Amino acid sequence: MTAAPGAGTETKVVLEAENLGVALPIDGKYVPITTDVSFSVRRGEAVALVGESGCGKSMTASAIMGLPPRGAKVTGRLRINGRDVLDLSPKRRRALCGSEIGFIFQEPMTALHPTLRIGRQMTDTLCHNLGLSRSAAMTRAAELLDLVGIPRPKDILKGYVHQLSGGMRQRVMIALALSCDPSLVIADEPTTALDVTIQAQVLDLMEKMRREFDVAMLFITHDLEVVGDFCDRAVVMYAGDVVETATAAEVTRAPHHPYTRGLIDAVPGTGLERLVPIGGSVPQIGAWPEGCRFAPRCSRATEKCAIRPPLEGAPMPDVRCWHPLTEERT
């Protein structure tokens, strides 16, 4: 994969999360769901949030969107295009959705309205965020559908979501996400519900759109193969915490955290070798171990790991582990 526009240069930072945390009210007290999540995404760059289900990827994305669960407390700092947004009013946060942040959902059948025509859903977005007339919005909607490779866009605008295939529905979602020229697009497992062939087509389209629009993209996934093919950098999360940050190539070819290594070993290969699953499961909310959160599942864990979290004192930068893998990265 070639580098994103501006890679290696001082391209604009679109999204910056610093010690971002989300806590939910449970049994009368706030219980942390994610803690100290820090990363950034530059214009034209694709950054992956990677990890098993329940590790905090989607919760982090909801906090960035300003749509956390009811009653949630979001802490830390969050900047979008250099502006702190956590202290904005709910109305001003909502105004960022669509105009500055686009979202590609995992399942368009539930994200798109089943009883409204595609054209109505797209023109409502364009009229609200860009102030276009209904006629101008309809023209723009047809142009967007054509841009994402949908044939007969004017006919599609007259139809409903149930009349489209899975790949076509996801193309509509991509068109909607890009419709108001956002600087950041968040894609939450956008290819999970698609077969392999359609998945490849959608990823190729997203890559093309990212470069054509020079948009920053936050890609939420559990699939490290997709990370290696599509993304520039990866942020690996476990139990609500960031455990490793590196380029996508480094993470997929020479991971330093045992958890990242476990994720790679659990991916089906092309041969007949047995998969190596990660033993155990992600700890429940509010039941994180006292030391390293991955220690109970880690073959490299020692007594030190059980009692002391590997934060600033860890021996390797950008890897939260007392005993990281030392394979040299190339």
How does DSSP classify residue 311? S
Kindly tell me if the per-residue pLDDT of 205 is higher than 60: yes
Q: Identify the band that residue 269 occupies on the pLDDT scale cut at 50, 70 and 90.
A: low
Does residue 122 sit within a domain? yes
Please tell me the distance from the alpha carbon of residue 16 to that of residue 18, in angstroms, as a whole number.
6
Q: Identify the band that residue 272 occupies on the pLDDT scale cut at 50, 70 and 90.
A: very low
Mean pLDDT of 268-288: 77
Count CB atoms within 10 A of the CB of residue 85.
18
pLDDT of residue 294: 95
Asked if 36 and 76 touch (Cβ cutoff 8 Å), the reply is yes
Among 55, 68, 328, 46, residue whose Cα is nearest residue 190: 46
The identity of residue 116, as a single letter, is L
Mean pLDDT of 231-244: 95
Asked if 140 and 126 touch (Cβ cutoff 8 Å), the reply is yes
Among 42, 56, 32, 53, residue whose Cα is nearest residue 243: 56
Asked if 39 and 266 touch (Cβ cutoff 8 Å), the reply is no
User: Residues 12-36: pLDDT tens digits?
Assistant: 999 999 999 999 999 889 999 999 9
Counting the structural domains of the chain, the total is 1
C-alpha 328: how far from chain center: 27
How does DSSP classify residue 215? -
User: Residues 112-159: pLDDT tens digits?
Assistant: 999 999 999 999 999 998 999 999 999 999 999 999 999 999 999 999
Asked if 40 and 16 touch (Cβ cutoff 8 Å), the reply is yes
147: domain range? 109-180
Q: Report the length, in residues, of the chain.
A: 330
Does residue 95 sit within a domain? no
pLDDT of residue 1: 31
The values of phi and psi at residue 117, to 5°, are -65, 150
3-state SS class at 214: coil
Please tell me the distance from the alpha carbon of residue 79 to that of residue 44, in angstroms, as a whole number.
17
Kindly tell me if the per-residue pLDDT of 2 is higher than 80: no
pLDDT of residue 270: 46
The bridge status of strand 233-238 relative to strand 216-221 is unpaired
Does residue 254 sit within a domain? no
Kindly tell me if the per-residue pLDDT of 111 is higher than 70: yes
b (16+ CB within 10 A) / e for 165-188: ebbbbbbbbbbbbbbbebbbbbbb
Mean pLDDT of 77-81: 95
Does residue 208 sit within a domain? no
Please give the angle made by the CA atoms of 219, 120 and 179, to the nearest 5 degrees: 35
Range in 94-98, 181-185, 261-265 with the lowest mean pLDDT: 94-98
Report the chain's mean pLDDT, rounded to a whole number: 89
Q: Between these two residues, 65 and 98, which has the higher pLDDT value? A: 65
Does residue 265 sit within a domain? no
Does residue 215 sit within a domain? no
Kindly tell me if the per-residue pLDDT of 312 is higher than 70: no
Please tell me the distance from the alpha carbon of residue 256 to that of residue 276, in angstroms, as a whole number.
17
Kindly tell me if the per-residue pLDDT of 185 is higher than 90: yes
Does residue 155 sit within a domain? yes
Kindly tell me if the per-residue pLDDT of 326 is higher than 90: no
pLDDT of residue 49: 96
DSSP secondary structure letters along 178-191: HTT--SEEEEESTT
| Packing angle, helices 196-213 and 166-178, rounded to 10 | 10
pLDDT of residue 195: 81
Range in 154-163, 230-239, 303-312 with the lowest mean pLDDT: 303-312
Does residue 116 sit within a domain? yes
